Amino acid sequence: SALYCIDGWGAPYFTVNSSGDISVKPHGTDTLPHQEIDLLKVVKKASDPKNLGGLGLQFPLVVRFPDILKNRLESLQSAFDYAVQSQGYEAHYQGVYPVKCNQDRFVVEDIVKFGSGFRFGLEAGSKPELLLAMSCLCKGSREGLLVCNGFKDAEYISLALVARKLMLNTVIVLEQEEELDLVIDISRKMAVRPVIGLRAKLRTKHSGHFGSTSGEKGKFGLTTTQVVRVVKKLEESEMLDCLQLLHFHIGSQIPSTALLADGVGEAAQIYCELVRLGAGMKYIDCGGGLGIDYDGSKSCESDCSVGYGLQEYASTVVQAVRFVCDRKNVKHPVICSESGRAIVSHHSVLIFEAVSSTTTRSQELSSVDLQSFVEKLNDDARADYRNLSAAAIRGEYDTCVLYADQLKQRCVEQFKDGDLDIEQLAAVDGICDFVSKAIGASDPVRTYHVNLSIFTSIPDFWAIDQLFPIVPIHKLDERPGVRGILSDLTCDSDGKIDKFIGGESSLPLHELGSNGGGCGDGGKYYLGMFLGGAYEEALGGLHNLFGGPSVLRVSQSDSPHSFAVTCAVPGPSCADVLRAMQHEPELMFETLKHRAEEFVHNNDEQEEDKELAFATLASSLAQSFNNMPYLVTNSSC
Ligand code: PLP
């Protein structure tokens, strides 16, 4: 486990058990030993074709743990409750979950259910997100906020006002100045008194990828001049009491509490100014930014980590708001945060299989007929071969590498000229590999082929070089014998993972079985990508028409050392992904069936044989549309 730094990024939810498997602690530090869930057992149960009503889910597989989600929400709430209490802050914290981080129905419904005891709400950034937030919040706390962010047109604003009519605690946050006229007009027409927030563009800026949202040139929010104009217009419209919330967002993954305190302090000053100008201020909404420790380093120097935990984050926010408000004699506002990454990252694990590995196994030297090989070489290549042999005997390693490269190159040229057989070309690879191995210069890094699309399941790795912890979920009691990079199923050279946490360019891995397949545990080798519960599912695309993973929802069960599968959904079929690109699988099937009919008809077989041949073709085609696009590895046939 130290090899993969599991105790660093995994705590308090993931550890390694005595069987060498990843063990999930669904209740974090409160998990009792008998409540731990062996991830390998979950995966085996899910993929076994005999289980789950004959479904036998295919890989890749996302395993969700709602208990972890609950623990994250409660931990965030307790961190703020503690900060509020210990600092004598005179208002409470009430968070919202930004649904864009993971809009999965179960995830959002769970968050609303788990958070209803402490007024947890939702944040939406588009019309469909608003619709889903509205319907989910009908079952949540009455006080839970429904924060409407994002670019808004008249339809969006009308919908948000409908939400207000439905007694949902809706706040329309102005991201652009022009939205104000629409809000004033539409709310008058609909006879609803809106609650308005405004998003301020802070001067505080954070460096790194996620910092581009912040600072004066950031994409979103109102400049100081615009804020002043909005206040004026609301005053003229006798609606200044409607302005109740100040929103800002420094950027995701805020690296340090120093930067956080700086940003929150600036926002608190704006809040106090809005109070002074007569707005009906109640809430300060700190946006997202609460970071995740992806590499376990707990360091603000690392791109994959942050230098604080939940408690330090909450205490910093509360302290910064309190300090400014006390100095200005302003009533403490309700503190809200839109923490997405911090709530959902841990709750899901992406499991995928390594199906083969390339060792670039060249021809064995013993099977090369050296005499005939040398005879066919041209003079230059033959000289290289002799020099290589002599250098090897003398043990001159650098010279060996030089002549081996030269020999290979000359043989390729000879092959291109048509003067060397393909067997000779294969033999030269075998000879050079033998020499490399003998002098310890062979490349030890292998390529492991994984049943996955990086573009679909880990898009942030491809798009913004974001690293996630990836580890085998079993065999962790055995020292991995090799190192490897991971290559996915897409026919795209970007579809590989060759950067790992800790600045590594390869991952320690176990040898796959001799048949090129898996190792141990029935020949399978399973890897897990952890902390990917936020953003990855929604951002993933359909490159090569690989669709989303199968999904399994696993809760801790009442019986010891056991778990309950509460939902199992196979990933999209080939027909589903084709439909997403406007193809019509039913018509495609008809076209292909017709072609099959023609083919069978033109065959000179007996009538009954024709019928059988057609039925077989048609059923195989139908099956192909229904199958998932990934490699089938759990089939019994
Ligand atoms: N709120 C807003 C306005 C955002 O833009 C974002 C993400 O960038 C979030 C909340 C969620 O941020 P995080 O996932 O860092 O908590």
Distance between CA atoms of residues 165 and 162, nearest Å: 5
CA atoms within 13 A on the CB side of 314: 22
Q: What pTM was estimated for this model as a whole?
A: 0.91
Contacts of 70 (CB under 8 A, 6+ apart): 110, 114
Q: Which residues pair with 23 in a beta bridge?
A: 15, 38
Residue 521: how many other CB atoms lie within 10 Å: 14
Mean pLDDT of 301-322: 95
* Strands of 37-38's sheet in order across: 14-16, 22-24, 37-38
Ligand 1 centre and the CA of 290: distance in Å?
9
191: exposed, middle or buried (Cβ count in 10 Å: 0-12, 13-18, 19+): exposed
What is residue 26's predicted lDDT score, i.e. its pLDDT?
Answer: 96
Contacts of 13 (CB under 8 A, 6+ apart): 24, 25, 26, 28, 65, 68, 71, 346
To test the ligand 1 pocket, which listed residue (338, 345, 531, 537) has its Cβ within 8 A of the most ligand atoms? 338
Percent of the chain, pLDDT > 70? 95
Ligand 1 centre and the CA of 286: distance in Å?
10
Distance between CA atoms of residues 562 and 38, nearest Å: 9
pLDDT > 70? residue 519 = no
pLDDT > 60? residue 514 = no
What's the pLDDT tens digit per position in 64-81?
A: 999 999 999 999 999 999
Ligand 1 centre and the CA of 394: distance in Å?
63
Q: How confident is the model at residue 516 (pLDDT cuts 50, 70, 90)?
A: very low
Please indicate whether residue 5 is annotated as part of the active site: no
What's the pLDDT tens digit per position in 120-157?
A: 999 999 999 999 999 999 998 889 999 999 999 999 99
What's the pLDDT tens digit per position in 329-369?
A: 999 999 999 999 999 999 999 999 999 988 656 667 777 78
Distance between CA atoms of residues 110 and 114, nearest Å: 6
To test the ligand 1 pocket, which listed residue (101, 344, 346, 535) has its Cβ within 8 A of the most ligand atoms? 101
Q: What is the ipTM of this complex?
A: 0.99
What is residue 62's predicted lDDT score, i.e. its pLDDT?
Answer: 97
Ligand 1 centre and the CA of 486: distance in Å?
30
Ligand 1 centre and the CA of 75: distance in Å?
19
CA-nearest of 18, 64, 20, 46 to 472 is: 20
pLDDT > 80? residue 218 = no
| Average pLDDT, rounded, for the chain | 92
Ligand 1 centre and the CA of 247: distance in Å?
11
Residues enclosing ligand 1, CB less than 6 A?
Answer: 98, 101, 149, 213, 249, 252, 287-290, 338-342, 534
Distance between CA atoms of residues 507 and 217, nearest Å: 39
Ligand 1 centre and the CA of 253: distance in Å?
9
DSSP-H helix ranges across 459-584: 459-464, 536-539, 574-580
What is residue 369's predicted lDDT score, i.e. its pLDDT?
Answer: 80
What is residue 359's predicted lDDT score, i.e. its pLDDT?
Answer: 67
The continuous run of DSSP H or E covering 312 comes out as: helix 310-327
Structure tokens, 253: 């993954």
What is residue 254's predicted lDDT score, i.e. its pLDDT?
Answer: 95
Least confident among 112-116, 396-400, 474-478, 527-531: 396-400
What is residue 529's predicted lDDT score, i.e. its pLDDT?
Answer: 98
* Nearest ligand 1 atom, CA 338: 10
What is residue 105's predicted lDDT score, i.e. its pLDDT?
Answer: 95
Distance between CA atoms of residues 358 and 381, nearest Å: 28
Ligand 1 centre and the CA of 141: distance in Å?
22
Per-position DSSP letters for 174-237, written without gaps between them: ESSTTHHHHHHHHHHHHT----EEEEB--S----SGGGGGSSTT-SSSB-HHHHHHHHHHHHHT
Residue of 304, 325, 491, 637 marked active site: 491
What is residue 581's predicted lDDT score, i.e. its pLDDT?
Answer: 94
CA 586 to each of CA 578, 580, 582: distance values in angstroms, whole numbers, following the listed order:
10, 13, 12
Q: How confident is the model at residue 211 (pLDDT cuts 50, 70, 90)?
A: low
Contacts of 247 (CB under 8 A, 6+ apart): 147, 149, 173, 197, 198, 199, 200, 285, 287
* Nearest ligand 1 atom, CA 213: 5
Ligand 1 centre and the CA of 234: distance in Å?
27
* Nearest ligand 1 atom, CA 251: 8
Distance between CA atoms of residues 535 and 514, nearest Å: 38
Least confident among 141-155, 171-185, 433-447, 510-524: 510-524
CA-nearest of 631, 629, 632 to 542 is: 629
Q: How confident is the model at residue 370 (pLDDT cuts 50, 70, 90)?
A: confident
Ligand 1 atom 12: the closest Cα is on which residue?
A: 288
pLDDT > 90? residue 160 = yes
Ligand 1 atom 13: the closest Cα is on which residue?
A: 288
* Nearest ligand 1 atom, CA 534: 14
Distance between CA atoms of residues 321 and 513, nearest Å: 58
What is residue 362's predicted lDDT score, i.e. its pLDDT?
Answer: 65
3-class secondary-structure state, position 87:
coil
What's the pLDDT tens digit per position in 552-586?
A: 999 988 888 889 999 999 999 999 999 999 999 99
To test the ligand 1 pocket, which listed residue (249, 308, 347, 535) has its Cβ within 8 A of the most ligand atoms? 249
What's the pLDDT tens digit per position in 452-463?
A: 999 999 999 999
* Nearest ligand 1 atom, CA 101: 14
Q: How confident is the model at residue 637 (pLDDT cuts 50, 70, 90)?
A: very low
Q: How confident is the model at residue 50 (pLDDT cuts 50, 70, 90)?
A: confident
Ligand 1 atom 11: the closest Cα is on which residue?
A: 288
What is residue 401's predicted lDDT score, i.e. its pLDDT?
Answer: 87
Distance between CA atoms of residues 549 and 349, nearest Å: 11
* Nearest ligand 1 atom, CA 254: 15
Ligand 1 centre and the CA of 196: distance in Å?
19
Beta strands in 425-542 (DSSP E): 445-450, 470-472, 482-487, 496-497, 507-509, 526-529
635 versus 36: the higher-pLDDT residue is 36
* Nearest ligand 1 atom, CA 289: 15
Mean pLDDT of 438-465: 89
* Nearest ligand 1 atom, CA 343: 16
Ligand 1 centre and the CA of 185: distance in Å?
29
* Nearest ligand 1 atom, CA 291: 15
Ligand 1 atom 6: the closest Cα is on which residue?
A: 288
- Computed over its alpha carbons, how large is the radius of gyration of the chain? 30
